Structure 1
Amino acid sequence: MLATVERLRGTFTQAGLTLATELQPVRQSLDSRMFERVLINFLMNARFASPVGGTVTVRLTDDELTVEDEGAGVRAEDRATIWNVYVKQEGSAGHGLGLAISRMILDSHQFDYGVRDRNGGGAVFYVRF
């Protein structure tokens, strides 16, 4: 997971963002290639949602992975549907596939996941192990 974050760090720097990490060593039984797709999707969504000068934070504990941004957040009424195919938030740069693919991967691992508000504004995408 750390290698994935480090590989993307330059993308965040070029966008005028700080990519912060708080990663604990965790042993989970999962398909690492598939889970990497989820992490990359969460990170890239956070990158595009964040204002220049903002910080995206990745946290990993024994219980949860979170990716936090300082963007506009996800409206409560959109939180269930953003995981569907071709659903995009206003201003999204994607095609509406990333979170749908993430949903399939996370469902196959039987992990709990979702999005919640970040204190101070923004979104927190999470996966609970």
Structure 2
Amino acid sequence: MNFTSNSDGSLSINSASNLDFFITAQNGTLNAIDAYLASAPVSSGFVSSKQLSLASSTTPGSDEVAVLLNNQALSVGSGSKTSVSSVSGNQKAISLGLVAKASASSFAEKTVVGFSVPVIFAVDLTSTPGS
């Protein structure tokens, strides 16, 4: 994680590097990939065990966190799934990242902060018999 102190005393937090991987259909074709959060991210290390709210955009406001899938903000629940664009063939690149902003009153110097983020993937594929 990268931490940047802002002029208003707030703290901006960004993934130092995203978690990059491929979803692959070993014997078939990918038709669609959807993802959503099983629950809001759980944060640790903030003053009074403060939990940051889930942002609805890729740019979180004060005391918010956003989980990004291929630069799209994820939401909680299968009813609010995010569809991965341009899915075709048997392999699709996925990139997960996190951005957050904590107000000056939400953290103390030399505090270790962390996030636990449960991401669920739903993959629709067509299998190729005999492959």
Q: TM-score, normalised by structure 2?
A: 0.27
Higher relative contact order (CA 8 A, sep 6+): 2
Q: Which structure: greater helix fraction?
A: 1
Q: TM-score, normalised by structure 1?
A: 0.28
